[in-house]
Amino acid sequence: MLLFNDYKKIIYEKIRKIYSINENDMEISNNYGDFTLKIFKINDKPEIIYKNIKNALNEDFIDKIELNNNYINFFIKSSSMVKTVNDSIDTFGKYPNTFQDTSKALIEHTSSNPTGPIHVGRIRNSIIGDSVFRIIDRYGYRSCTQYFVNDSGKQVISLYLGHMKYHKDEDLTVENLLEGYQKIYKEKEENPEINKEIELLGEQYERGDDELIQNIQKTASVILDSIKKSLKKLDIEISTYVWESNFILYGDVNKVLNELSDYLKEDGKAKYIEIGDKKIFLTRDNGTSLYFTRDIAYHLFKAENFDWIIDILGEDHKDHAKHLDYVLNNYLDFNAKVNYLFYGFVSLESGKMSTRKGRIVTLDDLYDKTVDESIKIIKEKRPEYDEEKIKEISNGIALSSIRYNIVKVNANKPLTFKWSEALNFEGDSAPYIMYSYARASSILNKSGDYNEISDNYNDHEKKLIKAMYVYPYYLESSANYLRPDIIANYLLNLVKAFNEFYLNCPILGDPEMKKRITLLKIYKKIMEDSSNLIGIKLLNSI
């Protein structure tokens, strides 16, 4: 829960005492004052409503109230808004302050099969997931992230078998493993016997063959470590890793099967559950478990320790999640709140991404190219910077750009990855945001420290002040709707307001310097806070 001086709420509560309105009738306004109330539905003449509302509100933070057709617009004193933000930062070190929620949230993201490098399609999962985590955490939940490592399906067994067949006596390297993995899928097409082998290994695995389990985990770990390394480049570190096989070995999967036994039907020896007109299989003919069953066990496990579970999933998992949710809530003792956040697929300009056809852009590729492009531009624009500084800035720009370009688009929209856009550092981009922060820092470096709030701000200052004051509303809706893109959008508008201020309001040596320095300090603080939510790395100079 957010704690701040919420003028919108104060006004709303007062009006509600005289008119029946709901929260949606009042919103933040962009062109007509600070907050606006729609009065279409109020059964009274606008002039009368206006008069009554004006009389009911004699708050000293209100600058003026205007009637405009079927809207009443409220103007808040800029000095009150600055004071609200400034006091909060002075007292709590942040704006808004939060009330720590006692419930615990778990965000599961990425969880991609450890059978290959992470590519720009998968990265949408990690970037959205990590941002949601940061937002929920900032909002006041005790949060952590988790990666569900698949070490018990056919894919990982194939990875292991590929290595045993083709690179047995060689080092366990990512390259060797990938080569073996691709080879085995190719051979499968000509030689169906391979599937038998995989099936047998699967049975052996589920019986709890220690040596086999350790070997498979060892191969999976090699790939997993490389995934971790790639994610770290984007400042993404996942709190905990949970191995799928644990749910088989420690009996959780069997427990699930027992608890569901009343609802299970059999097809040969395989067991399934009917949901609607669909048969959802939980075990195979040979008795081994399926992903669906293990995921049920996993969710029961999550619910033991967390009150709020958030799964970040590709849209191809929609049906899986629907069925999972149905079983959890109808057939099992399950009390946690679960949100499934789906994201649309990322395609390339050349078409669908495909690992087998080699048509992917890996995160490492993307990162390296973005760093290179950035270095090129820095050398051109800032010839005075030394190598170390160039390195710091280009890494910051690469990580911020990649994250920003992905996170700014609403998750449920499909996304086409384009190099021209990924490497564009102008306009609606991460460097645009970083640049404005660097400008603010640069001035502060050259100035003294002042804390002055005025009763008189010009339009440019007012616009910036409002953009800063309004931060909690966006933080709140991004948390409520699990939408990091709302923060990306907010940030862009905040920066626009700052750029306008920067260009029109001289600071150093100006008679109005002190109050403007104060705005600058607040701006930096809110920038740091909000940028961090979506992983943009701000630097004092770029």
Partner RNA sequence: GGGCUCAUGGCCUAGUAUGGAUAAGGCACCGUCCUUCUAAGUCGGUGAUCGUGGGUCCAAAUCCCACUGAGCCCGCCA
Binding mask 284-313 for RNA (x = CB under 7 A): xxx---xxx---------------------
Amino acid letter for position 477: S
Q: Measuring CA to CA, how many Å separate 18 from each of 12, 21, 68, 144, 295?
A: 10, 9, 20, 44, 52
Does 528 interact with RNA (rule: CB under 7 A)? no
Asked if 120 and 159 count as a contact pair (C-beta separation under 8 A), the reply is no
Structure tokens at 227: 């995934």
DSSP output for 388-446: HHHHHHHHHHHHHHHHHHHHTS-TTS-EEE-HHHHT--SSSSHHHHHHHHHHHHHHHHH
Q: Tell which one of 99, 203, 508, 528 touches RNA (CB under 7 A).
A: 508
Q: Which of 409, 341, 416 is nearest to 109 (CA)?
A: 341
Spatial contact of 144 and 239, defined as CB atoms under 8 Å apart:
yes
3-state secondary structure of 314: strand
73 part of the interface to RNA, by CB under 7 A: yes
Choose between 300 and 440: whose C-beta lies nearer to RNA. 440
> Cβ(67)–Cβ(47) under 8 Å?
yes
Q: Classify strands 26-28 and 104-108 as parallel, antiparallel or unpaired.
A: unpaired
From 412, 450, 451, 459, residue interacting with RNA (rule: CB under 7 A): 412
**209-248 residues near RNA, rule: CB under 7 A:** 244
Instruction: Restricting to residues 371-410, name those near RNA by CB under 7 A.
Output: 374, 377-378, 381-382, 393, 397, 408-410
Determine which residue in the list 4, 298, 425, 523 makes contact with RNA, applying CB under 7 A.
425
Q: Which of 281, 301, 340, 419 is the binder for RNA (CB under 7 A)? A: 281
Length of the chain: 542
Are 472 and 497 spatial neighbours (Cβ–Cβ below 8 Å)?
no
Q: Measure CA 34 to chain center.
A: 29
Residue 88 or 227 having the CB closest to RNA: 227
The phi and psi torsions of 288 (rounded to 5 degrees) equal -75, 155
Q: Segment near RNA (CB under 7 A), from 11-19, 38-46, 186-194, 212-220? A: 38-46
- State residue 413 phi and psi, 5-degree precision: -90, 140
SS3 percent helix, strand, coil of the chain, rounded to 5, is 55, 15, 30
Task: Candidates 279, 368, 458, 459: give the one binding RNA (CB under 7 A).
Answer: 279
CB nearer RNA, residue 100 or residue 445: 445
Q: Does 496 bind RNA (CB under 7 A)?
A: yes
Listed ranges 52-60, 164-172, 495-503, 528-536: which one lies at the site for RNA (CB under 7 A): 495-503
Q: Alpha-carbon distance 313 to 486, whole Å? A: 19
- Which is nearer to RNA, 95 or 425 (by Cβ)? 425
Shortest Cβ 457–RNA spacing (Å): 15
CB atoms closer than 10 angstroms to residue 525: 18
Residue for token digits 């027992």?
Answer: 258
DSSP readout, 242-267? EETHHHHHTSHHHHHHHHTGGGEEEE
State the minimum distance, in angstroms, from the CB of residue 491 to RNA.
Answer: 12
Residues 445-484 that bind RNA (CB under 7 A): 446, 477, 480-481
Query: Whose Cβ is closer to RNA: residue 88's or residue 246's?
Result: 246
Q: Which of residues 335-354 bind RNA (CB under 7 A)?
A: 344-345, 347, 352
Who's near 139: CB < 8 A, 6+ residues apart? 1, 2, 98, 101, 475, 476, 479
- In angstroms, the Cα distances linking 283 to 56, 145, 291, 329, 331 are 66, 29, 9, 20, 17
CA distance 7 to 141: 24
Of positions 90, 175, 267, 528, contacts RNA by CB under 7 A: 267
Site for RNA in 101-130 (CB under 7 A): 113
Interacting positions 17-36 with RNA (CB under 7 A):
24, 27, 29, 31-32, 36
Q: Which stretch binds RNA (CB under 7 A): 136-144, 214-222, 264-272, 363-371?
A: 264-272
Q: Least distance from C-beta 425 to RNA, angstroms?
A: 4
| By the rule CB under 7 A, 427 interacts with RNA | yes
Q: Which range binds RNA by CB under 7 A, 101-109, 126-134, 177-185, 489-497? A: 489-497
Find the binder of RNA among 210, 211, 268, 384 (CB under 7 A).
Answer: 268
Question: Closer CB to RNA, residue 195 or residue 305?
Answer: 195
349 or 455: whose CB is closer to RNA?
349
Site for RNA in 164-193 (CB under 7 A): none
Contacts of 462 (CB under 8 A, 6+ apart): 78
CB of 171 to RNA, least distance (A): 26
> Which of 20, 68, 329, 330 forms a contact with RNA (CB under 7 A)?
68
Residues 318-337 close enough to bind RNA by CB under 7 A: 318-320
- Total binding residues toward RNA, as defined by CB under 7 A: 93
> Which range of residues in 100-108, 185-193, 314-322, 356-364 is near RNA by CB under 7 A?
314-322
Selected from 155, 176, 182, 226, the binder of RNA by CB under 7 A is 155
